[in-house]
Amino acid sequence: MAKETREQGQDGGEFAEFLADVSQEIALRVESLQPAATVPTPERKKTPIAADGGAITEWPSIADRMIEEMR
Amino acid sequence: MSVVNYGTREITCKIVYYGPGRSGKTTNLQHVYSKLPEERKGKMVSLATETDRTLFFDFLPLDLGTISGFATRFQLYTVPGQVYYAATRKLVLQGVDGVVFVADSQSRQMAENIESLQDLHANLADESLDPRSIPLVMQYNKRDLPKSEICSIEELDETLNFRGVPHFSATAVTGGGVFETLRSISTLVLSRLSAPATKV
């Protein structure tokens, strides 16, 4: 797999060639590597404000909301 | 590890030039730096002793601009080749994505090449990186020296390149083979890019 060596001054666009190769590779990778999507979380109903002066009565729902907000 | 970050639209890769002292690692980076267009020239950080030996490491950030919508940055590092800078080499290897092993083609330097390669393997293993699978390219430097003083490519390959990775002959001091080597390691590193899972 020996590669030929380019002598100095033969190509002033060494960086441009390098950039072109890298760009091509990245374009390929970015296309094939879409981020692994997670399943969207269904929107939860907000805990209704209790009629009795805002006292929390639905503890399981509050816990769910806290967990969701912490995500 | 190099990652396509879809959130920040960034790609960052770290490439380390490894090899024995005076094999031409810093010269590789200096050539790359000399060929950068002015608008992309950042600072090449090089800490050398009075005798021009790399004391700590060289660092060349390569800002490649926006490619396919991603801000792309390569970070090129060298390690000090001298045996007594083992701790520095370990430090520089942290988070490496690809390695260019710069071997000195001189026959009398073969033992140093082997020792450095063994050191690389040990340090990669310490970083929990598999020396058998990390992207690696061999560069056989100083091919401009008289034939009587240097090993043949076949001999170097047989002794050092047991993985059969891409190898390049080079004369880094005049730039020969420098970009070919960089292109090869870059392609290998990019082919292993991974995308983190992101929330929709």
CA distance B167 to B172: 14
d(CA A40, CA B90): 42
Q: pLDDT at residue B131 above 80?
A: yes
The reported pLDDT for the residue numbered B180 is 97
- Domain residue ranges in chain B: 3-189
**Residue B162, Cβ density class (10 Å: 0-12 exposed, 13-18 middle, ≥19 buried):** exposed
CB < 8 Å to B182, chain A: 18
B82 pLDDT band, cuts 50/70/90, is: confident
In this structure, CATH architecture of domain B3-189: 3-Layer(aba) Sandwich (3.40)
Mutate to test the interface with B, among A4, A25, A28, A32 (most CBs of B within 10 A): A25
Q: What is the pLDDT of residues B19-64, one digit of tens each?
A: 999 999 999 999 999 999 888 777 788 776 656 666 677 899 999 9
With CB atoms and an 8 Å threshold, state whether A37 touches B200.
Answer: yes
Nearest CA to CA, how far is B68 from chain A (Å)?
Answer: 6
Are B72 and A25 a contacting pair at CB < 8 A?
no
Among A17, A19, A71, the residue to mutate for chain B (most B Cβ within 10 A):
A19
Please name the amino acid found at residue B98: G
Q: Which residue in B has a C-alpha nearest to residue A39's C-alpha?
A: B200
pLDDT of residue A5: 42
State the sign of the Cα–Cα–Cα–Cα dihedral B60, B72, A10, B16.
positive
The answer to whether position A17 is within a domain reads no
Whether A11 shows a pLDDT value over 60: the answer reads: no
Q: Mean pLDDT in chain B? A: 90
Please enumerate residues of A whose Cβ is less than 8 A from a Cβ of B: 1-3, 5-9, 14-15, 17-19, 21-23, 25-27, 29-30, 33-40, 71
Q: Is the dihedral of CA B134, B129, B90, A26 positive or negative?
A: positive
- Overall number of domains in chain A: 1
pTM of the predicted model as reported, rounded to 2 decimal places:
0.79
Residue B87 φ then ψ, to 5°: -65, -40
User: What is the phi/psi pair of residue B66, to 5°?
Assistant: -95, 120
User: B69 near B42, Cβ under 8 Å?
Assistant: no
Q: Is the pLDDT of residue A1 over 60?
A: no
Range of the domain at A62: 47-71
Is residue B146 predicted with pLDDT exceeding 80?
yes
Judge whether B64 and A27 are in contact, CB under 8 Å.
no
Q: What is the pLDDT of residues B86-129, one digit of tens each?
A: 888 998 999 999 999 999 999 999 999 999 999 999 999 999 99
The answer, yes or no, to whether residue B164 has pLDDT greater than 60, is yes
